[in-house]
Each structure stands twice: as structure tokens, then as C-alpha cells.
Amino acid sequence: MVYVHVPFCRSFCTYCGFYSEIASESALNRYADALIAEAEERRNEITDEVPTLYIGGGTPTVLPLSVLRRIVEAIGKGPYEEFTLEANPEDIVEKGEEYAAGLLALGVNRVSMGIQSFDDGVLRKMNRRHNAERAVDGFHILRRAGFRNLSIDLIFGSSWISDSCWEKTLDMAMGLSPEHISCYQLSVDEGSALAEMEAAGRYSALPDELCRKQYDLLCSRLSREGYIHYEISNFARPGFEAVHNSAYWRRVPYVGLGPAAHSFDGSSRRWNSSNPVHWSPSFETLSPEEERLETIMLGLRTAEGLPEQWLRSSVQADVDNFLKEGLLSRSGGNLRIPEDRFFVSDDIIRELV
């Protein structure tokens, strides 16, 4: 399985602390040349195990179809069981149905659209390029083009987002009926504009109890609408769980191409440096202890959980006490964190390990 990182955006979101560059036509082509060279150099690492391709960013939809086509053809290995492209609604609206149809022709069969909110005031504070109307328009353009697996990203848990605002966003999302929804609590990332605002006293985080209220509303609403809560931040119609991301949580090896991309071979990690055209790798071999902690942390984020006997043998905590207190529950032969405790899962995992 392959991840491609596109490090370009048209503008920077207030909350984002990830590496990104402002896009220019010359930079996009030089980036594509470097990415294709890396794909060729690492050809023997790209296998057919979990045949997925995920192009994320940044904002992959800043790339013209011609550049995307060069990248996809250079990687090869298609057609993919799942080929996801992250999209900004404004790009889809500006480039129109011809661009959407071109994505489908390239083999993209799943689009993850970063909507974040359906409240225009919140979107302005986040410095998003689109408004609520354009988000809806972009979604419908993809539907008309023939996409039958659409995911949207939403953000909750900010002092900018009142309960009524969050309810409105959920109402709008349900009106679109996407196959998949990813919802994340707003965090203050180091290096982001939001971190600067917080340091200057111009932003205050929403208290945990109010974040929990919005998360509980999210869980109950999506459950009533028939979505499966299969991972802490992810909900899907039955059969539309993300294949690529689910493999991450099972620690399946993957190849990450592009600047700032990560790779994992089962026992070690590779990090590419953050340069849009001249990136270089660093490597780290995981210790058995790091592998154990990572397996627990990732596995207990999911509704599937981890095999009970393995988990009991891998932690020193009294697992029976966690079961009695409702912090863990049984599901088949596995132990999982119950949905009503997902919000405090980090605390539960910390106590376990």
C-alpha cells in the first residue's frame, strides 16, 4: 500500500501545523519529477499487499490532472481496491465536473473532502478557502461525476463552535449522506497560527466537558443515521470503512512517497525530510517495547480492539478491573474500549500500559 504526500496548499488553515508550501506551477512540476524519481528508486518496496493508494496533503487537488496522471502512472500497481484522493471543496468547484470526471478516469474511487464545518463564520476563522455553499456544491459535483464512495472531514471541540452550530453542521452533513465521515477535535498544533493566537490570548480552547458533549452528540446522531463507529474519529456506512487507514491501525507495512511522508516496513520507520523537491530519508528501528506500545495504542482506537489473551500478556495492569469498571469490554475474543469511553481512550490506554 502506498501513501503519496502532496505538500502544497493555496492558503494555510489557522489550525494546521503540518508542513506545507504555497503552490506554484513550476514547483508542482519539479515536485512531480522528484516524486517519480523516488517511486522508481523504491520500486522493490511497492508490493501488492493491501492494494491501496492514498494521495493526501497538503491539498492534492491543487495538482492539475496532467501532474496527477504522471504520478499515478509512475507508481503503477493499479487498479487499486481503494484509491483515495484528499480534496478541497473550492478546488472541485473551480475546476468543475471535467476535473472530477478526470479523477474518476485516473482510477480514483474514493474522495476525502475537507469540509470541516458548514458554518461560514467558523470557516472564516479557520481560514478555509470555501464557504458552506461551495462545500455542498463540490460534494454534488463529485456525485454527478460518478463517485460512490465519498468521505467528509469535520471538526468539533472549539470555542468557535457552539452546540447549535455543531448541530447545524451535523444536519447539513446528514443531508449529503456521505459514505464516510471523519471527525476530529480541534487541537492547537505547535507552529500553527492558532498556537500564536492562543499565546497572544486571542483564542481559548473549549473545556473538555463541552468537547465531550459535542463528541457524544456526534456519536448518537451518526448511530441513529446508520453509521458504524469503527474507530475513535471515523464513522462509515456498512462496507465503506476506509481500507487504507484501517491497515495503518493494524500496523500493515506501507510506502510513503514525497516530502514529509512516513513509511513503515513492519519493524522500522522512514521519515522523508520537508523539502518540496529535494527530500532525504531518516530511519528508526522500533524496539520490542515501542512495537508493543504502538500495537496497543492503535488497536484500542478501533471498535475491533485487540485479542484478549495477547492484551493480558502485554500489560501489567489488572485487566479484570478495567472490565469491571467498564473501561474495557469483550467483543468476540477481543477486548475493546466501549464507545461511551472513546473520548477518554487516551487516559485508559495510559493506565493500561
Listing DSSP states for 270-328 in one string gives EEE-S-SS---EEEEEPPHHHHHHHHHHHHTTBSS-EEHHHHHHH-SS-HHHHHHTTSS
Query: Within 10 A of 332 (CB to CB), how many other CB atoms are there?
Result: 10
The second-level CATH assignment, the architecture, of 2-249 is Alpha-Beta Barrel (3.20)
Here the cell at position 255 is 510506502
For 6-33, how does the pLDDT look when each residue is reduced to its tens digit (9 = 90+)?
999 988 899 988 888 887 888 899 999 9
Regions of the chain with pLDDT less than 50: none
Looking at residue 346, what is its pLDDT? 95
Residue with cell 463528541: 215
CATH top-level class of 287-353: mainly alpha
pLDDT at 25: 82
Question: Residue 250 has what pLDDT?
Answer: 95
The rounded distance, in Å, linking the Cα atoms of 216 and 140 is 28
- Determine the pLDDT at residue 47: 79
Q: Whole-model pTM?
A: 0.95
pLDDT at residue 24, as a whole number: 81
pLDDT of residue 19: 83
- Beta-sheet strand order (sheet of 52-57): 228-231, 234-236, 180-185, 150-156, 110-116, 82-87, 52-57, 2-6, 255-257
Give the pLDDT confidence score for residue 109 in this predicted structure. Answer: 97
* pLDDT computed for residue 58 by the predictor: 92
Compute the radius of gyration of the chain from its Cα atoms.
Answer: 20
Residue 11 is predicted with a pLDDT of 87
Q: Where are the domains of the chain?
A: 2-249, 287-353
As given in the structure block, the three cell numbers for residue 164 are 447549535
